[in-house]
Structure formats: structure tokens, C-alpha cells
């Protein structure tokens, strides 16, 4: 029997539109304190669960998110891990998919729900989507069967779908349905009832305690290809001495220009120890560097395949793997292997 009662949930409020109010001078939105959210959603107090809240200081627009912020968030979850059955992270939508992806790698052996949500309209406005998002996220975080949580993952809830966090990307700055998970099914569909897709949810197979990873390598670049990209622009990345990794956003199934200078730059970057990962610019589908000659040239140059990783998951996975201090062979192995359900291969 599924139930939500008598659980302890911790809401971690980081900022984002959900709690923002308009500045009377500039008319721009800026984050406001948690009591504002509580006043707008009095239901929080009458839930069958114990619900506590912690607010970040300062509250931020999520376009100010940094890896240090992720460490702070992961540490906070670890600190309260044994006291709560589930966690809600209220977060701005702009970088929510990055944070969800990063957290999934940082929280090893996670056995409890960590549900990120936010809204497109501030919670104080008449047509806000924030109230429904928050209430449903709490229900999901509290849902359990025979004492076990139904969603022991880092997940993202928005509008009427629950997604695996590291499979998401923000695809609309306007619609309430702001996120997509193009290469992985929803973990739950929400209508009158919450229908969990148990086959898609990862359930732990061993009982290990939570371990958080705090070291992330941040000297990484995302190089998005476009027709006409210049040698100088590519060199600015490939010849940057500090860059340890490059996410190469390629075309289609992982193709790039075969111009000699380009292949040479990529090859040299790999030779000098940079990890180069091929991720497609396509929203859905996967990288297969053996499909076309143009892709094969990258494979031969030593580029690793990102298969169906999103840029958000590929970038944070690379930060995580480099942060572990692995050599490029082990990074290669782990990059193509599913660590947290982020990749289909
Ligand atoms: N700029 C806001 C943020 O990401 C947008 C939002 O929350 O929807 O914090």
C-alpha cells in the first residue's frame, strides 16, 4: 500500500522564481524569504508529515549557481540525511537541470528522495504554478511503500511529470511544462492520481550509507560547434593550459567538420591530457561516432562518446570524474557506463 503519512520532509529553499517578488523600483523579480512561500501555501502546515524548511543565505537566482553552491547543498543534505525521509530543493528553473545532474553524482548511495522543483510564476501571483509544484513534490518525497521510499533518486518535478534529474534539460522559458527528459521516460505521471513508473525508477540493491563527493573539477569547457566556427575560437579552448576537459557539442549522431586544423587541434588536446567528450546538439538520440566518416575522425582523434547524455549530465559527470582524480582510461570507462542512470548504454 502506498502512503504519504507521518514522514519527515526537509524543504531546502535556495531561491528562484517560486519565491520571488517584484522590486517596486525596477519591476524585476528578486528572491524573497521562505515565510512568503509559507504564507502563500498554508497547506504546508496541514500536511500529514512533519515539514521543516531551511533557507539558503543569500537566496539566489539560479543563474548564479556555482559548483561551490552544489557542495553546500550536498553537505546540507548529508547533515540532515538521517533526520528526514525525503528532501525538497526549491530552486530556480534556469540551472535546475545542472544542479539535479551534479547532485546525482555527488550523492553516492542515495536511498531517499531528493526532489527539485520551482516554478515559472512566483508563488504570490494568481496563476502561479509554484503551489501545485511544491505540494506535489512534497507528496512524492513522502510517498513510501512498506517503509521504503517510492522514489529514492535525485528527481525533478515540474507541471505534471517527475523526471530523473540527470536526464532533464530546460526546454521552455515560457510554458509551465518547462522541462523535458528526451531520452528517458518519466518516473511518474501526475494527474488525479500519481502514477509511478516503477520500472523506470532506480531502487538501491545494497544498503550502503550515503557518501558525498565534494571535489569537482571546474576547469572544463563546453565547445559548441557551428558551421563557420573559426580556428582561433577552437584554439582558445583546445590550447588553454588550464582546461582539463572539453564537452564537444557536435551535430547529429556525433559529427564534426573534418577540416585538418580542427581534427589536429582535438587530437593535440587529447595528447596533452585533456578529456574530450562528444555530446550531440540534438535534443533526443545518441552519439555514435562509427555512423559517419565525420564522426569516426573524432573517434580516431581520441574523443570519448557521450552516447545519450545531456550536456548538463555530461558536464557535471566530467567535473565529478576528474574531481575523483581518475586517469583518462578510467574516465573513459566510467563516462560510457551508467553511474546514476544518466546514460542508456
Ligand atoms: N531566473 C530564475 C531562476 O532560475 C528563473 C526561474 O526560477 O524560473 O532562478
Domain limits, the chain = 8-212, 220-335
Distance between the two ends of the chain, CA-based, in angstroms?
33
89 CB contacts (<8 Å, ≥6 apart)? 12, 14, 73, 99, 103, 114, 115, 116, 117
pTM: 0.96
pLDDT category, 44, cuts 50, 70, 90? confident
Is-contact 151 113, C-beta < 8 A? yes
Is-contact 96 170, C-beta < 8 A? yes
26 lines ligand 1 (CB under 6 A): no
Query: Rounded to the nearest whole angstrom, what is the distance from the C-alpha of residue 17 to the centroid of ligand 1?
Result: 5
Q: What is the pLDDT of residue 37?
A: 83
User: What's 220-335's CATH class?
Assistant: alpha beta
Is-contact 279 248, C-beta < 8 A? yes
Fold assignment, 8-212: Rossmann fold (3.40.50)
| pLDDT tens sequence across 203-245 | 998 889 999 999 999 999 999 999 999 999 999 999 999 999 9
Intrachain domains 8-212 and 220-335 with the same fold: yes
pLDDT category, 1, cuts 50, 70, 90? very low
* C-alpha to C-alpha distance for 37 and 290, rounded to whole angstroms: 51
Please give the positions annotated as active site: 17
63 lines ligand 1 (CB under 6 A): yes
98 CB contacts (<8 Å, ≥6 apart)? 65, 312, 315, 316
| 20-34, 95-109, 134-148, 175-189, range with the lowest pLDDT | 20-34
Paired strand residues for 247 = 222, 277
Query: Rounded to the nearest whole angstrom, what is the distance from the C-alpha of residue 58 to the centroid of ligand 1?
Result: 15
Which has the closest alpha carbon to 246: 215, 231, 225?
Answer: 225
Protein residue with its CA nearest to atom 7 in ligand 1: 92
Q: What is the pLDDT of residue 179?
A: 98
Mean pLDDT in residue range 11-27: 91
Among residues of the chain, what percentage have pLDDT more than 70?
Answer: 99
Ligand 1 atom nearest to CA at 95: 4
128 lines ligand 1 (CB under 6 A): no
Q: What is the pLDDT of residue 2?
A: 55
| Length of the chain measured in residues | 345
Pocket test for ligand 1, best of 14, 17, 28, 177 (most atoms within 8 A of CB): 17
Among residues of the chain, what percentage have pLDDT more than 90?
Answer: 88
| 47-51, 61-65, 296-300, range with the lowest pLDDT | 47-51
Q: What is the pLDDT of residue 49?
A: 85
Mean pLDDT in residue range 307-328: 97
Ligand 1 atom nearest to CA at 96: 4
Query: Rounded to the nearest whole angstrom, what is the distance from the C-alpha of residue 101 to the centroid of ligand 1?
Result: 17
> In the numeric block, which cell numbers belong to residue 100?
539535479
User: Roughly what angle, to the nearest 10 degrees, separates helices 311-323 and 328-335?
Assistant: 140
Amino acid at each position: 500500500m502506498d502512503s504519504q503519512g507521518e514522514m519527515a520532509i526537509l524543504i531546502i529553499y535556495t531561491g528562484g522564481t517560486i519565491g520571488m517578488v517584484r522590486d517596486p523600483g525596477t519591476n524585476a523579480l528578486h528572491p524573497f524569504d521562505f515565510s512568503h512561500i509559507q504564507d502563500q501555501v498554508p497547506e504546508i502546515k496541514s500536511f500529514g508529515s512533519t515539514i521543516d524548511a531551511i533557507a539558503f543565505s543569500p537566496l539566489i537566482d539560479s543563474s548564479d549557481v556555482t559548483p561551490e553552491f552544489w557542495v553546500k547543498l550536498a553537505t546540507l543534505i548529508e547533515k540532515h540525511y538521517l533526520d528526514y525521509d525525503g528532501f525538497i530543493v526549491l530552486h530556480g528553473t534556469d540551472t535546475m537541470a545542472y544542479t539535479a545532474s551534479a547532485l546525482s553524482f555527488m550523492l553516492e548511495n542515495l536511498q531517499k528522495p531528493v526532489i527539485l522543483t520551482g516554478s515559472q510564476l512566483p508563488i504570490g501571483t494568481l496563476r502561479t504554478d509554484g503551489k501545485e509544484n511544491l505540494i506535489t513534490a512534497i507528496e512524492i518525497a513522502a510517498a513510501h511503500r512498506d517503509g521504503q521510499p517510492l522514489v529514492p533518486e535525485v528527481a525533478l518535478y515540474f507541471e505534471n511529470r517527475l523526471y530523473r534529474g540527470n536526464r532533464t534539460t530546460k526546454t521552455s522559458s515560457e510554458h509551465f511544462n518547462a522541462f523535458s527528459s528526451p531520452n528517458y521516460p518519466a518516473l511518474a505521471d501526475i494527474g488525479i492520481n500519481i502514477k509511478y513508473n516503477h520500472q523506470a525508477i532506480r531502487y538501491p540493491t545494497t544498503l550502503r550509507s550515503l557518501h558525498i563527493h565534494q571535489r569537482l573539477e571546474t576547469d572544463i569547457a563546453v565547445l559548441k560547434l557551428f558551421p563557420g566556427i573559426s580556428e582561433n575560437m577552437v584554439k582558445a579552448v583546445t590550447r588553454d593550459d588550464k582546461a582539463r576537459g572539453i564537452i564537444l557539442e557536435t551535430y547529429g549522431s556525433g559529427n564534426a567538420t573534418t577540416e585538418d586544423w580542427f581534427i589536429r587541434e582535438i587530437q593535440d588536446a587529447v595528447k596533452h591530457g585533456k578529456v574530450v567528450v562528444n555530446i550531440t546538439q540534438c535534443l533526443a538520440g545518441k552519439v555514435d561516432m562509427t555512423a559517419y566518416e565525420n564522426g569516426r575522425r573524432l573517434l580516431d582523434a581520441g574523443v570519448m562518446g557521450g552516447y545519450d547524455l545531456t550536456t548538463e549530465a555530461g558536464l557535471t559527470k566530467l567535473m565529478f570524474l576528474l574531481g575523483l582524480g581518475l586517469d583518462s582510461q578510467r574516465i573513459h570507462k566510467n563516462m560510457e557506463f551508467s553511474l546514476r542512470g544518466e546514460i542508456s548504454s
